[in-house]
Amino acid sequence: MKKVFILLVLFLGMGIKAQTHRFIYELQYRPDPKGTNYEKEEMVLDINPEEVKFYEFAFLVNDSLNILHGGMSSQYTSQSGQTIIRKKGSNKNKNFVQIMMMPYYYVFETEDNISWKVEADTKKINNYNLQKATAVFGGRNWTAWFTPDINIPEGPYKFRGLPGLVLYVEDDNKDFIYSFSRNINLSKIYDTTGFLEKHYSLSPIAIDFKKWVKLNLEFYNDPYARMRTEFQPDWNVRINGRQIKSKDEFAGLTKQTQINIKRYYNPIELDKIIPYP
């Protein structure tokens, strides 16, 4: 909780004049559940009049480059797999997802109700009152700290529904840790349609979660099926530092890729785990 929350004053000062209230969090997550190393991503929580969006800050960096150059000069693919849109006040999330190396963009809906227990523990940081809350969600035990001083029942990822903005949340294994960093108020709704509602040129394919599991298992069983089928001799393809010169060379890469998929698979929601063999 060693974060500076003083920028939240900006939110209070601008009030309803802002069209997008943007809160930025630092996400630390452990890709290898047996490892000790963490990846870090800056995550954006955009609260608009009708919708709430959560995605990686790197999308904004690339979007700015595209606007600057007047075209599709830069693209970014989510590393955390936490790209979400929901209606304001709703627990129903649209999850936008991709499978690595595959040129498709998918969306499926989930109903993500969280039954919070508001605890008696409180503390104060930079004049903001924080209160503790706990919950079991997605097969993990979570602890959140929210501030009733900011009357917004939202938070990072799907952690919403508390009587105040969630500023910090972590699971008991510390695989996922979200810490509030700063906030920005925008005078109009920020347009994310070019990279969120669509992934640049890719329109989302609507599926259900059962189909999402099936697609991932198919990819795991033969991760280079598409590349073998579409391979052209003039392709400049390098995988793990190795130049691929013929489609037959993909056969020797499958086993290691499968090992890596399983090793670096640490889903935030353990009750939706993909059952890799």
Mean pLDDT of 185-194: 94
| Model confidence band, residue 29 (pLDDT cutoffs 50, 70, 90) | very high
C-alpha distance from residue 86 to each of 49, 51, 93, 226, 228 (Å): 12, 6, 5, 33, 38
Q: What is the pTM of this model?
A: 0.89
Task: Say whether both 216 and 191 belong to one domain.
Answer: no
Task: Say whether both 75 and 163 belong to one domain.
Answer: yes
Per the structure, the count of domains in the chain is: 2
Q: For residue 260, is it within any domain?
A: yes
Q: For residue 160, is it within any domain?
A: yes
Domain boundary among 166, 197, 228: 197
Task: Say whether both 102 and 215 belong to one domain.
Answer: no
Q: Is the pLDDT of residue 65 over 90?
A: no
- Give per-residue pLDDT as tens, 73-117: 678 999 999 999 999 999 999 999 999 889 999 999 999 999 999
Task: Say whether both 71 and 134 belong to one domain.
Answer: yes
- Give per-residue pLDDT as tens, 132-148: 999 999 999 999 999 99
Q: For residue 2, is it within any domain?
A: no
Q: For residue 231, is it within any domain?
A: yes
Q: Is the pLDDT of residue 24 over 80?
A: yes
Task: Say whether both 115 and 214 belong to one domain.
Answer: no
Mean pLDDT of 206-216: 98
| Model confidence band, residue 257 (pLDDT cutoffs 50, 70, 90) | very high
Cβ atoms within 10 Å of 135's Cβ, excluding its own: 19
Task: Say whether both 217 and 177 belong to one domain.
Answer: no
> Which CATH number fits the domain that encloses residue 105?
2.50.20
Helix (H, G, I), strand (E, B) or coil at 100: coil
Domain boundary among 141, 171, 197: 197
Q: For residue 203, is it within any domain?
A: no
| Model confidence band, residue 13 (pLDDT cutoffs 50, 70, 90) | very low
Task: Say whether both 178 and 47 belong to one domain.
Answer: yes
Task: Say whether both 79 and 41 belong to one domain.
Answer: yes
| Model confidence band, residue 15 (pLDDT cutoffs 50, 70, 90) | very low
Task: Say whether both 157 and 240 belong to one domain.
Answer: no
Task: Say whether both 144 and 241 belong to one domain.
Answer: no
Query: What is the residue range of 249's domain?
Result: 208-272
Which residues is 140 bridged to in the sheet? 137
Domain boundary among 146, 162, 197: 197
Which residues is 229 bridged to in the sheet? none
C-alpha distance from residue 195 to each of 64, 68, 160, 248 (Å): 11, 15, 24, 35
Task: Say whether both 141 and 177 belong to one domain.
Answer: yes
Residue 141: CA atoms inside 13 Å, Cβ hemisphere, count? 2
CA dihedral 202, 204, 210, 215 (to 10 degrees): -10
Q: Is the pLDDT of residue 233 over 50?
A: yes
